């Protein structure tokens, strides 16, 4: 029982303590500046500990962005390139397989694959990438292609989403990352990424993935031109889909990084805004088991603090990240396992290595690159 909260938060405190759902108005209220951040942290921590006790999760993973050439021109993106821009690249099958080999040699359990929508690459190129990596390294989990990419494949093939996802599952897809959600509301979406998958399509793709038994993640890009109401509307759409399917594993709030983007005049959100959004996400998304503090994007200090503001997961050790580093992130490109475990312990949490589907990972101490999958994590 939390006895002292800001008077305007008392009804919300009572609902959180009773395990009742917060309304959209509650969500918008929590974004008001006079609502103390530490009160939100304490409330979010109740929900966090209900789901995940004092565990702080991480995984050992790598990123693969096979091309940055993209037909879309999302104003917030610093990663994309035109075909003839000197910055543009496309990886060969050999380079992709070398990355997968490097990942396995370093004990990675997951490869997170996303990239541009290259108009000279057909659907088969994207399916083949999954197939060749999976065939070479069946134990490496492929978390690949966002809802936006799947929507592009629909355009390329004119096939139903279900068939596309089934092709990818047959090729070795393990789950889908949460990117491409940005802000669902058309008042914002039409200004920052008008051409790509709209909210209805993004949600339909994730619903279909869940129906096929695929777990997926979800995200929200905040701190640009949206307001509090747009954010709460976004969280509510995710919460409603999760009520239907239960297929989301983790939500990742993504702080906008302005450098080298079409929105470079906007200030990066403050650490206070990051922690507020983390806490509000945990409180609103009462039905999603995990909230991730993606350290690459938040910075190490804020990510550590976020473990007391609703987050239970720091993502991974991460190799070869480009999307945030192109947009001005100053975080290192990789953390060692020792570092990430220490960060979690310093935050007063118990570090647990998980796989992509949130099972404990057991490692052979004599040969730590060898691993096996243990019990599901969590307490709820
Ligand atoms: O969809 C792009 C965002 C996303 C910028 O599922 C930007 O486990 C801020 O979704 N500033 C891709 N954000 C990253 C992503 C993700 C990351 C970590 C883990 C998982 C997961 C998913 O990055 C894009 C977009 O929303 N993004 N550019 C930028 N300048």
Q: Pull the structure tokens for residue 31.
A: 């974004």
Q: Which of 127, 77, 132, 88 is nearest to 326 (CA)?
A: 77
Q: Give yes or no for residue 314 CB within 6 A of ligand 1.
A: no
For ligand 1, atom 4, name the residue with the nearest CA. Answer: 179
For ligand 1, atom 6, name the residue with the nearest CA. Answer: 177
Three-class SS state of 253? strand
For ligand 1, atom 15, name the residue with the nearest CA. Answer: 179
| pLDDT for res 332 | 76
Q: Could you name the CATH architecture of 20-376?
A: Alpha-Beta Barrel (3.20)
HEC sequence for 299-310:
CHHHHHHHCCCC
Q: Which pTM value belongs to this model?
A: 0.97
Residues 66/96, Cβ–Cβ less than 8 Å: yes
The length of the chain is 380
For ligand 1, atom 27, name the residue with the nearest CA. Answer: 77
- Is residue 20 exposed (0-12), middle (13-18) or buried (19+ Cβ within 10 Å)? exposed
Averaged in consecutive runs of 10 residues, what is the pLDDT profile of the chain (380 residues)?
88 97 98 96 98 97 96 94 94 97 94 95 97 98 97 97 98 98 97 94 98 98 98 98 98 96 95 98 98 94 97 89 82 85 97 97 91 88
**Helix runs in 53-198, H state only:** 93-105, 123-136, 147-157, 161-171, 186-192
Q: Give yes or no for residue 65 CB within 6 A of ligand 1.
A: no
Q: Give yes or no for residue 254 CB within 6 A of ligand 1.
A: yes
DSSP letter for 268, please.
P
| pLDDT for res 380 | 59
Q: Give yes or no for residue 116 CB within 6 A of ligand 1.
A: no
| pLDDT for res 176 | 98
> CA 104, 79, 298: angle at the middle one, nearest 5?
75
Residues 129/96, Cβ–Cβ less than 8 Å: yes
- For residue 234, give Cα distances in angstroms to 201, 238, 295, 333: 14, 7, 22, 30
| pLDDT for res 242 | 98
Residues 219/250, Cβ–Cβ less than 8 Å: no
Q: Give yes or no for residue 316 CB within 6 A of ligand 1.
A: no
| pLDDT for res 103 | 94
Q: Pull the structure tokens for residue 218.
A: 């979800």
Domain ranges of the chain: 20-376
| pLDDT for res 334 | 81
Three-class SS state of 351? strand
């Amino acid at each position: 029982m939390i006895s002292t909260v800001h008077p305007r938060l008392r009804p919300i405190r009572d609902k959180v303590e009773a395990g009742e759902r917060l309304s959209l108005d509650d969500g918008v209220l929590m974004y008001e500046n006079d609502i103390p951040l530490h009160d939100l942290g304490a409330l979010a921590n109740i929900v966090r500990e209900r789901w995940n006790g004092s565990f702080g999760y991480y995984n050992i993973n790598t990123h693969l962005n096979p091309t940055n050439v993209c037909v879309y021109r999302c104003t917030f993106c610093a990663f994309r390139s035109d075909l003839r821009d000197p910055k543009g690249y496309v990886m060969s099958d050999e380079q992709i397989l070398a990355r997968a080999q490097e990942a396995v040699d370093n004990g990675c359990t997951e490869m997170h694959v996303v990239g541009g929508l290259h108009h000279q690459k057909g659907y088969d190129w994207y399916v083949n990438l999954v197939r060749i990596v999976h065939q070479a390294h069946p134990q490496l989990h492929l978390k690949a292609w966002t809802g936006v990419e799947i929507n592009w494949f629909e355009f390329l093939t004119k096939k139903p989403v279900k068939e596309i996802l089934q092709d990818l599952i047959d090729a070795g897809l393990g789950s889908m990352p949460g990117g491409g959600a940005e802000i669902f509301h058309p008042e914002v979406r039409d200004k920052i990424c008008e051409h790509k998958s709209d909210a209805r399509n993004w949600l339909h793709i994730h619903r279909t993935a869940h129906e096929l038994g695929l777990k997926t993640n979800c995200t929200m890009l905040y701190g640009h031109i949206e307001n509090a109401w747009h954010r709460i509307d976004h969280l509510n759409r995710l919460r409603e889909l999760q009520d239907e399917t239960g297929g989301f594993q983790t939500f990742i709030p993504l702080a906008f990084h302005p450098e080298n983007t079409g929105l470079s005049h906007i200030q990066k959100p403050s650490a206070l805004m990051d922690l507020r959004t983390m806490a509000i996400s945990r409180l609103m998304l009462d039905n999603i088991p995990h909230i991730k503090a993606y350290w690459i994007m938040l910075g190490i200090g804020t990510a550590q603090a976020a473990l007391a503001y609703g987050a239970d997961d720091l993502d991974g050790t991460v190799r070869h990240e480009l999307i945030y580093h192109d947009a001005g992130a100053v975080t290192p490109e990789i953390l060692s396992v020792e570092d990430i475990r220490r960060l979690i312990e310093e935050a007063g949490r118990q570090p647990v290595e998980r796989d992509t589907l949130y099972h404990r990972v057991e490692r052979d101490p004599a040969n730590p690159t060898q691993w096996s999958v243990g019990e599901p994590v969590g307490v709820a």
